[in-house]
Amino acid sequence: MGGRKRRRGEKMSSSPHRPSWPRRLVPAAMIVGLAAVGAAVATTPPAIEPPPSATPRPPETVYKQTCGYCHGANVGPVIRGRGLEPDAIKYMVRHGLNGMPAFRPTEISDAELAAVAEWIKASKADPKEHGR
Ligand code: HEC
């Protein structure tokens, strides 16, 4: 029984009419498949830094990462502990002024900006910070 099956298989694989192209196509398809996997991995955004709109960063983080770089570091005026109006802060961040850069929603989302503006208004002055 088993012997008959094996013989039939041998006859098929040794047939002279068997086209040779599938043997060459298989590795090509594998390369294309691997390239697609590579591209998918490459375009996946890194998990550590999601776009601002996806996961709003806490206001402390936005301030530390973006604003504190200048404010409180002698590049810009101290803005904490002054009760600055959130609307004025938001306008300043979106429009900029002289040395104050404007930030786009792709850099600081509307939600993050609203939160950081409220946080700055409510925050106490940090004695370690100094204005320009
Ligand atoms: C590259 C440095 C820099 C960064 C980063 C920066 N600022 Fe400024 N900012 C300045 C400077 C310089 C001024 C003063 C502009 C002027 O009056 O000529 C200023 C002014 C301001 C003012 C007005 C202060 C006042 O006394 O009226 C606010 C509010 C402000 N910035 C908020 C922010 C916030 C919020 C962020 C973070 C999202 C930020 N800034 C990031 C440099 C910076």
For the stretch 42-75, what's the b/e string if a residue is b when 16 or more beta carbons lie within 10 angstroms of its beta carbon? eeeeeeeeeebeeebbebeebbeebbbebbbeee
Find out whether the beta carbon of 79 lies less than 6 Å from any atom of ligand 1. Answer: yes
Find out whether the beta carbon of 89 lies less than 6 Å from any atom of ligand 1. Answer: yes
Q: Cα(17)–Cα(57) distance, rounded to whole angstroms?
A: 65
> For the chain, which residues make up each domain, given as ranges?
59-122
CATH class of 59-122: mainly alpha
Q: Cα(51)–Cα(54) distance, rounded to whole angstroms?
A: 5
Q: Cα(39)–Cα(41) distance, rounded to whole angstroms?
A: 5
Q: Cα(132)–Cα(119) distance, rounded to whole angstroms?
A: 21
Output the CA 100–ligand 1 centroid distance in Å: 5
* Atom of ligand 1 at shortest range from CA of 75: 12
Each residue's pLDDT, cut to its tens digit, for the chain (132 residues) gives 545 555 655 555 555 666 666 666 666 656 565 555 555 555 655 555 555 556 899 999 999 999 999 999 999 999 999 999 999 999 999 999 999 999 999 999 999 999 999 999 999 999 999 998
Output the CA 30–ligand 1 centroid distance in Å: 54
Residue 132, pLDDT score: 85
Of 75, 68, 57, 74, the closest CA to residue 113 belongs to 57
